[in-house]
């Protein structure tokens, strides 16, 4: 049962943490720690993705507070692809989005990262962030508009 929960959410949690931290290795470490803590503390409960993302988010915030250093996106090899030009294009687009996200407020980055990575509903994101569902909808809309404006400014 837990294997299915792990398989269904590990990539989403990793994507969220990578977008939020910009650090591949840190995101991978926190994913493992998140599942470990979830399993230790909540094994008897019904599996809850929002709780898992809350644990991961809190672990990342704790790490950031402890280290107080800025993290940047690290280009990583994730397997070999025949079409290297396509891989380069995807990496360049990801780099541009991560760079644009760094120009946004912490809360905007967090909300957009949760939305893009988690597959959680607005209600679940609201619970994680401590906002109302209506407020999350407004913040997501405004953050998307701001991200689009920043990306337009980054492109030649």
CA angle 59, 62, 66 (to 5 degrees): 140
Distance CA 28, CA 8 (A): 16
Look at residue 70 and tell me whether its pLDDT is greater than 70: no
Look at residue 33 and tell me whether its pLDDT is greater than 80: yes
pLDDT in tens, 115-156: 887 778 899 889 888 999 999 999 999 999 998 899 888 554
Distance CA 156, CA 142 (A): 24
Query: Can you tell me the mean pLDDT for 86-103?
Result: 79
Where does 2-73+83-154 sit in CATH, by number? 1.20.140
CA angle 67, 72, 90 (to 5 degrees): 150
pLDDT in tens, 17-29: 888 888 888 999 9
Domain boundaries, the chain: 2-73+83-154
Work out the mean pLDDT of the chain and round it to a whole number.
82
User: What is the predicted pLDDT for the residue at 121?
Assistant: 87
Q: Alpha carbon 134 to chain centroid distance?
A: 21
User: What is the predicted pLDDT for the residue at 99?
Assistant: 84
pLDDT in tens, 43-56: 788 888 989 999 99
Look at residue 34 and tell me whether its pLDDT is greater than 90: yes
pTM: 0.57
Cβ proximity of 140 and 131 under 8 Å: no
Query: Can you tell me the mean pLDDT for 63-77?
Result: 60
Residues ≥6 apart with Cβ < 8 Å to 47: 1, 2, 5
């Amino acid at each position: 049962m837990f294997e299915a929960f792990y398989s269904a959410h590990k990539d989403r949690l990793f994507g969220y943490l990578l977008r939020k931290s910009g650090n591949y290795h840190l995101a991978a470490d926190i994913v493992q720690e998140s599942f470990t803590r979830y399993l230790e503390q909540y094994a008897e409960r019904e599996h809850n993705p929002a709780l898992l993302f809350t644990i991961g988010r809190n672990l990342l915030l704790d790490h950031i507070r402890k280290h107080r250093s800025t993290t940047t996106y690290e280009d990583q090899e994730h397997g070999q692809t025949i079409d290297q030009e396509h891989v380069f294009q995807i990496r360049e687009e990801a780099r541009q989005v991560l760079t644009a996200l760094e120009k946004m407020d912490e809360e905007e980055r967090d909300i957009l990262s949760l939305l893009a990575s988690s597959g959680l509903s607005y209600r679940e994101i609201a619970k994680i962030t401590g906002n109302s569902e209506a407020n999350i909808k407004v913040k997501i809309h405004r953050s998307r508009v701001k991200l689009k404006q920043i990306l337009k400014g980054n492109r030649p």
